[in-house]
Structure 1
């Protein structure tokens, strides 16, 4: 090695050593950051619980209840829940005319009749009085007046309504076991929701 190349070699060695020191320092810094973040607990906030309000249904209850009115209840509430919110049944309420176990639907209007009271619209007919059977108010007897609906299928329709709440469209009948497209077409003009 010549005398003139020795300082040049030392300079290259110094620059190389400096680069290595910087790279090692960066690696150690990254490593310590990973170790620190792995040992530091992170609070996870579920998306669903952030400022979102629980689902609710609004039900207008009137008739033989202590405090008729509009009530907001948790989604999945039943008739018994809205009756309790309305202060309970009056002493003259016809408890057999109301299914207390039925799930409520948003926007529903619930009338609790008094014992011996005659309801102008008979259960099962549409409010317009056009002779169609209302899927949301019909009892088993009213459902059995429909074409191809016997006692077993009427009970399945009522069971579906009890489990899922009000029918929102005639097409909801397709969710009832035993009712297909062809049967639905035969019922479409004679039922309403």
Structure 2
């Protein structure tokens, strides 16, 4: 009779085995959920490393590796002042501010353009008429050109400022830092009294 299996003992073994299997399954699910916790949803904007002209990630276009301050406001999650790396683009500024709100009119921004130190980026809401010219770096309220943020194309729209003069203005601010007053523009080679008088009412800092 010792060789006859006890039915009650067999049932207990089956129940214990089932409990062990359920615990192992629950543990596996918990590990899987933890592993996917930060990757299950997509953010509004993904910050990517700046790329060089050769397309190598992590190499800033300016090559200096410094930091800049950018003020972003409007239809973003966390408007404010953010420290970015030189060579970052407008999309990096939006990402630092938590991404766009659902009401943001993203079409009015050129997210691929480079940002500069001291720049202010206003993200308009859908249907809002921005003070600045959409998609034009350096445009400001009233249609004035911000000489601290304008690119060569925007500077070239000013009277008496051709491509060569625009390049000198950009080179000056890269070497000496942002213009603190519009009068500082006269420190740029080629900007004399007559040229400055023609620009006085068209530029801002």
TM-score category by the smaller chain?
A: 0.3 to 0.5
**Rg: which structure is higher?**
1
Higher normalized contact order (CA 8 Å, seq sep 6+, divided by chain length):
1
Q: TM-score, normalised by structure 1?
A: 0.45
Q: TM-score, normalised by structure 2?
A: 0.43
Q: Which structure shows the bigger proportion of residues in helix conformation? A: 1
